[in-house]
């Protein structure tokens, strides 16, 4: 039987980096086994629905290269569903849940509960005061069906709860955690159908996973306590259990659960900053999992080949932005220069360094900047700050060491010779940038640090940085002349 895995997010806003990891593990395992990976939208909690969240989800996953085989997809600017197990949106499956809840009521595995919110709150406060486990006390468990139906006909508000067996050990194998044992006394009678006719997660996930042929239920560890209830639902329906895998949380560097309070956690945040998708996916795969050879830089195909749930850690993986930056900078260094240039242009336009109308005209110039930047930036939005050194005639000195270099006795003669070469050159390009130093050395006898450092200081205000021949080509004749004039006026 082919494996089928699903990623089932709620459309409540942005796609969390932890959600991307869950989807990625689903995808890697499904592809490795020649199976299917699907997306299902769990939108039964209508109070948390966010307009545009589904579009954001699809866009984020497509950007990351975690492409689903079935489920909602964007086509001509609108959402369409593809696959043979739809609808893939839970709010469109209410009739299915209603059919199945009736079966549970008929078999005695579920019951109507008429307890008011006030009563439930009072019970909770009493349990807190006594130090007891919080949960429903089973007050409505034994209401006869005919009485329940009469109360419903009379318009009394109600929910439907799962009738848990008392003191039963539930044992199951988890692909990440191994053998797990839980007792039903540690849970309460879970609500399966809310008073508004919408199912809770616990009913919907079981019904949907079974009807969609899901073989592996992969989700975060926060759902582990609910697994026994869902196993009992599978039993009540007479269905075969899927395999379970509960993933550890992603933690920040302080070993606390990663959240918006600690900085960027949405896939869109990293897209906006200019992280390459293959870098983010590579890194996020390793937050809680490692291949047998402990390789750190991996393509999607290599991850598909190497992935296994057995090598997923039981403890939370730490999301370290510094490590992500290291991975991303590696991919930037290896990426096609034209791809990087096209990705960086919007940042320069947004910063006002490049006008929309001159993108085509200045493309090769931006490409030269990118060739020097790729060795020095961790993510692409940093290009704006990096490129500032190539704009304007003002030269700001990095520190007093730069000023000391410009005060050296031979610097004025050196600048005069350099200005002459720049003024008379046919073109100021990378070829000129390489040749000009040999010409100056031959003419003046100045060489080594005494040649390179003062020229770099005069052009950039720094003693270290990108190759000076590339800096010369990027600045061009007019900017070089203006900068040298500025330095002569203010620092020499």
Is the Cα torsion angle 145, 146, 150, 153 positive or negative in sign?
positive
**DSSP letter for each residue of 346-367:** HHHHHTTSS-GGGTTTTHHHHH
Which H helix or E strand runs over 318?
strand 317-318
How buried is 79 (Cβ within 10 angstroms: 0-12 exposed, 13-18 middle, 19+ buried)?
A: middle
The answer to whether the beta carbons of residues 475 and 434 sit under 8 Å apart is: no
The answer to whether the beta carbons of residues 7 and 36 sit under 8 Å apart is: no
Alpha carbon distance, N-terminus to C-terminus of the chain: 79
Reduced to 3 states (helix: H, G, I; strand: E, B; else coil), residue 220 is: strand
* Separation of alpha carbons 384 and 380, rounded Å: 9
- Considering just the CA atoms, what is the radius of gyration of the chain in Å? 32
Number of other CB atoms surrounding residue 63 within 10 Å: 16
The answer to whether the beta carbons of residues 321 and 346 sit under 8 Å apart is: no
Q: Residue 155 corresponds to which tokens in the numbers above?
A: 């318009």
- Give me the count of residues in the chain: 492
Catalytic residues: 260
CA distances to 30, 65, 213, 272, 339 from 62, rounded to whole Å, are: 17, 5, 24, 15, 18
* Separation of alpha carbons 221 and 344, rounded Å: 38
* Separation of alpha carbons 205 and 231, rounded Å: 11
* Separation of alpha carbons 441 and 246, rounded Å: 67
The answer to whether the beta carbons of residues 29 and 5 sit under 8 Å apart is: yes
């Amino acid at each position: 039987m082919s494996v089928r895995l699903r990623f089932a997010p709620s459309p409540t806003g942005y796609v969390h980096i932890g959600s991307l990891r869950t989807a990625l593990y689903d995808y890697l395992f499904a592809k490795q086994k020649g199976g299917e990976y699907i997306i299902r939208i769990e939108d039964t909690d209508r109070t948390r629905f966010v307009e545009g969240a589904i579009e954001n989800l699809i866009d984020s996953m497509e950007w990351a290269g975690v492409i689903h085989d079935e489920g909602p997809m964007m086509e001509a600017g609108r959402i369409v569903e593809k696959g043979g197990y739809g609808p893939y949106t839970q709010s469109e499956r209410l009739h299915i849940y209603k059919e199945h809840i009736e079966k549970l009521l008929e078999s005695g595995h579920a019951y109507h509960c008429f307890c008011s919110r006030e009563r439930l709150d009072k019970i909770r406060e009493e349990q807190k005061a006594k130090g007891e486990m919080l949960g429903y006390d089973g007050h409505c468990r034994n209401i006869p069906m005919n009485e329940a139906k009469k109360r419903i006909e009379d318009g009394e508000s109600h929910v439907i709860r799962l009738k848990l067996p008392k003191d039963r050990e539930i044992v199951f194998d988890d692909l990440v955690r191994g053998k797990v044992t839980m007792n039903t006394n540690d849970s309460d009678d879970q609500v399966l159908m809310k008073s508004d006719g919408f199912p809770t997660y616990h009913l919907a996930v079981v019904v949907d996973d079974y009807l969609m042929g899901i073989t592996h239920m992969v989700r975060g560890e926060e759902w582990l306590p609910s697994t026994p209830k869902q196993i009992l639902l599978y039993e009540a329906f007479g269905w075969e259990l899927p395999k379970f895998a509960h993933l550890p949380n992603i933690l920040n560097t302080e070993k606390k659960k990663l959240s918006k309070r600690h900085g960027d956690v949405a896939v869109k945040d990293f897209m906006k900053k200019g992280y390459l998708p293959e870098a983010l996916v590579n890194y996020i795969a390793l937050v809680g999992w490692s291949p047998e050879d402990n390789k750190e830089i991996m393509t999607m195909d290599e991850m598909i080949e190497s992935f296994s749930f057995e090598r997923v850690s039981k403890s939370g993986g730490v999301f370290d932005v510094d490590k992500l930056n290291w991975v991303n900078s590696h991919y930037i260094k290896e990426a096609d220069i034209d791809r990087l240039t096209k990705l960086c242009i919007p940042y320069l336009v947004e910063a006002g360094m490049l006008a929309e109308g001159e993108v085509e005209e200045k493309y090769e110039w931006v490409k030269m900047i990118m060739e020097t930047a790729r060795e020095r930036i961790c993510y692409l939005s940093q290009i704006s700050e990096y490129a500032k050194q190539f704009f304007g005639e003002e030269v700001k000195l990095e520190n007093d060491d730069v000023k000391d270099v410009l005060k050296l006795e031979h610097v004025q003669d050196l600048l005069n010779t350099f200005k002459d070469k720049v003024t008379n050159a046919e073109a100021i390009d990378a070829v000129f940038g390489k040749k000009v130093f040999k010409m100056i050395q031959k003419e003046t006898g100045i060489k080594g640090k005494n040649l390179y450092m003062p020229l770099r200081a005069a052009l950039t205000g720094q003693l270290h940085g990108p190759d000076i021949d590339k800096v010369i080509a990027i600045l061009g004749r007019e900017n070089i002349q203006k900068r040298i004039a500025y330095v002569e006026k203010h620092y020499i």
